[in-house]
Amino acid sequence: MSHGQVHFNTIAVHGAGKPDLTKVRPVSVPIYQSAEFVFDSAEHGEAVMSGKEPGFCYTRMGNPTSQEFERRMALLEGADDGVSFASGMAAIAATILSYCQPGDNLISSSPVYGGTFGLFKDLLPTLDIRIIYLPAETIHAELDRHVTPRTRLVYLETPANPTLDIVDLQETIKAAKRHNLKVAVDNTFATPCLQRPMSYGADVVMHSATKYICGHGDTIGGVAVANKGDIERLRIVAYKNLGGTIAPITAWLLARGLQTLPLRVERHCRNAQIVAEFLENHPKLDRVRYPGLKKCCGHDVAKKQMQGGFGGVIGIDVKGGLESCKKFQNSLKLCTLAVSLGSVETLVSHPASTTHLSYSEDDLKKVGMSRGFVRIAVGLEEPEDVIADLDQALKKA
Ligand SMILES: Cc1ncc(COP(=O)(O)O)c(C=O)c1O
C-alpha cells in the first residue's frame, strides 16, 4: 500500500499492510495482542469460526499466546488440553456449569476457598444446583452414602484453603468413579509440581493461576485442563457462553511463570517446612497446621499423594482468639499483610475476615476455623528472617 494510492487516514489505520511474520522466530512466546485474526478467504472464515478448521478468529475464543499457556499447563498436569480464564473463579464457575444443570447436585469436599464457597452458597442455588458438603478428610469414605441420581460432579480442593485439610485423591476418585461421576480438582495449593490429580482419574483440574503459577503477585488468571471428551464442552461454556477469557498479556506472564514453577515451588516447600517446624511448639499458638508436620492429621495422605513437598501455606491458631491475632498481624514488620498466596513475598491474612467472609460463624465452626486462625503463605525470603518476624510479632500477641 503506497502513499500514492490511499489517503492519510487510511495509512494511519493500515500502515504498510499486515506484517509478514513467517520468518520471525522469537525464543519466547510472543504476546499476540490482537482481538481479531485475519481470514484467508470468506470460506476460511466460516471454517475457522465453525471449528471445522483449526485457527484463530477472535481472542475471546482462543489466542496463540493463551493457547501456548494452556498447552504447557496441560502437559504439566498430564491432560490433553486446557482452557484459560481471566481468574481462578472464572475457571471454577465454567467447570461447574459445564457439568451441572438445574436439579443436579454436586458433592464438595469441605472446606473450600471462600470465593468458591460464595459461588456455591449464592449463585448455584439460584440455578437450582445443590451442594452436599463432606469433610475433606472423610469424603472418600462417606461419598457412597450421599450420591443421588442427580449427583453430577464431585468437587475437591486439596490442600484446602485455608485449613490445609487433605482429601485422599486416589480413594475419593475411586469412589466417585464407582458411580460414574465426574471429578473436578482445585490444584491451586499443590500445583502440578507436587500433585497430579489426573493421574488418579480426575476429569478436570483447575487453578487459580494468580497464585504459584504466576508466582509474583502481579496478575490474576485461571486455567482448567481436561482430556478429550470433557475439554470441548468446557471450551464452549468458557469461550462462547460465559466469556471470562484470559488477556494475552496475562497468558504470557503465566506461561513465563511456568518456566520457573518447579524451582519456586521447591523453595516455597522448603521454607514453609522450616517455618512450620519452628512454629510447631510456639507457646503463643494453640495449633499449627501444615501437611508436612508429622502431627498434622492429613500428613500420611499428603505424603502418599504429594511428591517433593507439602506446599507453601501454613495455618496457625493464635492463643487468645481474635484480639491476640489482630495484635500479631499488626506487629509484623517483614511479612506482608495481604490476601493471596504463592507470591515471592510472605503474605499473612486472617481468612475469617477477608478471603472467607462468605463463611458464617456457624460455617466457620463446622470447618474448625477459630477466630484466631491466621494463614501464612511463606514466600522466597530467607526462612530465618521470616521466623524472626513471626516470632517478634507473636511475642506481642
Ligand atoms: C484454592 C483457590 N481456588 C480458587 C481461587 C480463586 O482464584 P482467583 O482469585 O484467581 O479468582 C483461590 C483464590 O484465592 C484459591 O485460593
Question: Class assignment of domain 261-396?
Answer: alpha beta
Q: Which residue's CA is minimally distant from atom 13 of ligand 1?
A: 208
- The answer to whether the CB of 114 is under 6 A from ligand 1 is no
Question: Whose CA is closest to atom 2 on ligand 1?
Answer: 113
The whole-number pLDDT of residue 3 equals 53
Q: What separation in Å is there between the alpha carbon of 24 and the centre of ligand 1?
A: 37
From the CB of residue 349, how many other CB atoms can be counted at a distance below 10 Å? 21
Quick one: pLDDT at residue 176?
A: 98
What is the DSSP track for 221-279? -EEEEE-TTTHHHHHIIIIIII--BPPHHHHHHHHHHHHHHHHHHHHHHHHHHHHHHHH
Q: How far is the CA of 188 from the centre of ligand 1 (A)?
A: 7
- Rounded to two decimals, what is the model's pTM? 0.97
C-alpha 101/C-alpha 188 separation (Å) is: 25
Q: Is the CB of 187 under 6 A from ligand 1?
A: no
- pLDDT at site 5: 83
Which pLDDT does position 1 carry in this prediction? 46
What is the distance between the alpha carbons of residues 108 and 205, in angstroms, rounded to a whole number?
Answer: 14
Decide: 44 and 192 in contact? Cβ < 8 Å: no
CB 87 less than 6 A from any atom of ligand 1 = yes
Res 164: pLDDT: 98
- For atom 9 of ligand 1, the residue with the nearest CA is 88
Q: Is 250 in the pocket of ligand 1 (CB under 6 A)?
A: no
Nearest to 345 by CA among 312, 367, 393: 312
Residue 53 CB neighbours (<10 A): 12
Query: If you measure from the C-alpha of residue 89 to the centroid of ligand 1, how many angstroms do you get, rounded to a whole number?
Result: 6
Query: Is ligand 1 within 6 A of the CB of residue 191?
Result: no
The Cα–Cα gap between 338 and 341 comes to 9
Check residue 366 and give its pLDDT: 95
pLDDT at 367 (0 to 100): 95
Determine if residue 288 is left, alpha or beta; phi over 0 gives left, psi from -120 to 50 gives alpha, anything else beta. beta
Cα dihedral: 123, 125, 126, 127 (round 10)? 100
Which amino acid, residue 200? Y
Candidate of 96, 109, 161, 375 to mutate for ligand 1, largest count of ligand atoms within 8 Å of Cβ: 161
pLDDT the model gives residue 27 = 93
Whole-number Å distance, alpha carbon 243 to ligand 1 midpoint, is 18
Neighbours of 39 (CB within 10 A): 16
Pick the residue whose CA is nearest to atom 16 on ligand 1: 113
Which residues of the chain, if any, have pLDDT below 70?
1-4
Q: What is the pLDDT of residue 4?
A: 63
| pLDDT tens-digit map of 114-168 | 999 999 999 999 999 999 999 999 999 999 999 999 999 999 999 999 999 999 9
For 221-250, what is each residue's pLDDT tens digit?
Answer: 999 999 999 999 999 999 999 999 999 999
* Residue 147 grid cell: 450420591
Rg (CA), the chain: 23
N- to C-terminal Cα separation, the chain = 72
Beta carbon of 254 within 6 Å of any ligand 1 atom: no
Kindly provide the b/e burial profile for residues 109-126, where b requires at least 16 CB atoms within 10 angstroms of the residue's own CB.
bbbbbbbbbbbbeeebee
Name, in order, each residue with C-beta under 8 angstroms of 109's C-beta and a sequence gap of 6 or more. Answer: 133, 134, 135, 136, 139, 155, 156, 157, 158, 160, 165, 167, 172
